[in-house]
Structure 1
Amino acid sequence: MSETVLALTGITKVYNRGLPSEVNVLRGVDLSVKRGEVVALVAPSGAGKSTLLHIAGLLDTPDGGEVAIAGARMTGLSDRRRTETRRSDVGFIYQFHHLLPEFTALENIVLPQLANGSSRQAAEARARDLLGRVGVAERADHRPAALSGGEQQRVAFCRALANAPKLLLADEPTGNLDPATSDRVFETLMDLVRSTGLSALIATHNLDLAARMDRTVHLDAGRIAMTP
């Protein structure tokens, strides 16, 4: 049986608990992602997909339920251990690249590796390798402002994979790009994920992109439903 890299069991999340404006965003979400599997998460705006991704990536805590990453339960971990797990085992990609503007493309990929204990030499070698894989090696010494939108997002992909995580979480990773660029950049992402054997949970509104992943799940009314 394939290893389960992400397991969410009975996840609940309530905002404004106890107030008249209380909102039950997640109502017992069960979801798993196997090793090497790419899962599309499709949800209408405001359905809680970003909240779910933040909980899966240990950026937020659920009000109920259990998160497990690579077989390890995350409940009760100290903030330090959660940070260590997030840094080493989870990669994040957002709709907006969030690259550090004062650093070059290369440096944006090197920095998370240094924070994770890599040497400068090893970090730069990996950064250059990743940039080469996504076709922007020649842009390594350029700052984000000198890169196109598609190039910036490719660098963000590399940064997310810098520490060789087990799990990639992406929230509308091509949503800020025009359709033609979105398609090319998404293909780059899929090639990168497949070549590294990553598990990925990718939120998208684009049903054409979702159809290119291994399976699709829908988040609606706080619960998960599989696509028929």
Structure 2
Amino acid sequence: MSETVLELRGIAKVYLKGQPGEVRVLDALDLALAPGEVAGLVAPSGAGKSTLLHIAGLLDRADAGQVLISGREATGLPDGERTALRRTEVGFIYQFHHLLPEFTALENVVLPQLAAGVGRATAEARARALLGQVGVAARADHRPAALSGGEQQRVAFCRALANGPRLLLADEPTGNLDPATADQVFHVLMQLVRETGLSALIATHNLEIAGRMDRVLRLENGRLIAG
């Protein structure tokens, strides 16, 4: 097994490259995330947290540097292989749940598995198990509009873990919730992460939440420093 689940080497990202007002968002950034490690990512708005997560999760390409996932160098892979690697190795959670409104909670967790080639019966069984783990099994047949904000985000957690990834990337996963609900939902997320042995990089503005993770990383001047 690889010693790192996620490794970033010398990552650089520049916007408006070569133009007046060029912005170097990431600058020779390095990161190594060990199996089972949970790291909090903190930075002011606009500092590049989302850009970093998108590059780490192969949703965007860096201008320079390497991305390794489970020891596999992914930077130069063609789009199809990047998509396949992302589908099996990486789970994403966003500030807004982005659940498909026309499908039930159960179906939202089943669909990514079907896309990965899992049979429907197996996919539904796993989806129900995940929904049970986060305490929303009784809401499995409800559509997102009938769920509370906290319930919606719990379903989004299940969807992110549906295909058994080794790496979880979360961008302000509780940022759209009131403080009490955010605290409850984050507790559920950490339970899920610990029970499944995931590695996770979680961006948050909430320093109290960040302090519950294994370590805190601050994004400053395009690089990561220990918080």
| TM superposition score category, shorter chain reference | over 0.9
Q: Which runs of 5+ in 2 are unaligned?
A: none
Contact 2:2/2:71 (8 A) holds in 1: no
What's the CA shift for 1:75? 2.0
Contact 2:2/2:70 (8 A) holds in 1: no
TM-score computed with the length of structure 2 as normaliser: 0.99
Q: Who is 1:217 aligned against?
A: 217
Matched letter for residue 72 of structure 1:
R
What's the CA shift for 1:164? 0.2
What's the CA shift for 1:226? 0.6
Q: How far apart, CA to CA, are the structure 1 residues paired with 2:61 and 2:126?
A: 32
Q: Is 2:90 the counterpart of 1:90?
A: yes
Moved over 6 A (4+): none
Q: Who is 2:9 aligned against?
A: 9
Matched letter for residue 155 of structure 2:
V
For residues 1-228 of structure 1, what are the structure 2 equivalents within 5 Å? 3-227=3-227
Q: How far apart, CA to CA, are the structure 2 residues paired with 1:104 and 1:29?
A: 40
Alignment deviations for residues 60-100 of structure 1 (CA, whole Å, 9 cap, x no partner): 00000100000000121011100000101000000000000
Q: How far apart, CA to CA, are the structure 2 residues paired with 1:71 and 1:120?
A: 31
TM-score computed with the length of structure 1 as normaliser: 0.98
Contact 2:38/2:215 (8 A) holds in 1: yes
Q: How far apart, CA to CA, are the structure 2 residues paired with 1:151 and 1:88?
A: 25
Matched letter for residue 50 of structure 1:
S
SS across alignment from 1:185: helix
Q: How far apart, CA to CA, are the structure 1 residues paired with 2:3 and 2:22?
A: 37
Contact 2:40/2:203 (8 A) holds in 1: yes
Q: How far apart, CA to CA, are the structure 2 residues paired with 1:52 and 1:202?
A: 11
Q: Which runs of 5+ in 1 are unaligned?
A: none
What's the CA shift for 1:3? 2.0
Matched letter for residue 222 of structure 1:
G
Matched letter for residue 44 of structure 2:
P
Matched letter for residue 43 of structure 1:
A
Q: How far apart, CA to CA, are the structure 2 residues paired with 1:160 and 1:3?
A: 23
Q: How far apart, CA to CA, are the structure 2 residues paired with 1:13 and 1:2?
A: 26
What's the CA shift for 1:225? 0.5
The share of aligned pairs that are identical, in percent, is 73
Alignment deviations for residues 4-28 of structure 1 (CA, whole Å, 9 cap, x no partner): 0000011000011111121111011
Alignment deviations for residues 137-174 of structure 1 (CA, whole Å, 9 cap, x no partner): 00000000000000000000000000000100000000
Matched letter for residue 188 of structure 2:
T
Q: How many residues align?
A: 227
SS across alignment from 2:110: helix
Q: How far apart, CA to CA, are the structure 1 residues paired with 2:55 and 2:88?
A: 16
Matched letter for residue 213 of structure 1:
M
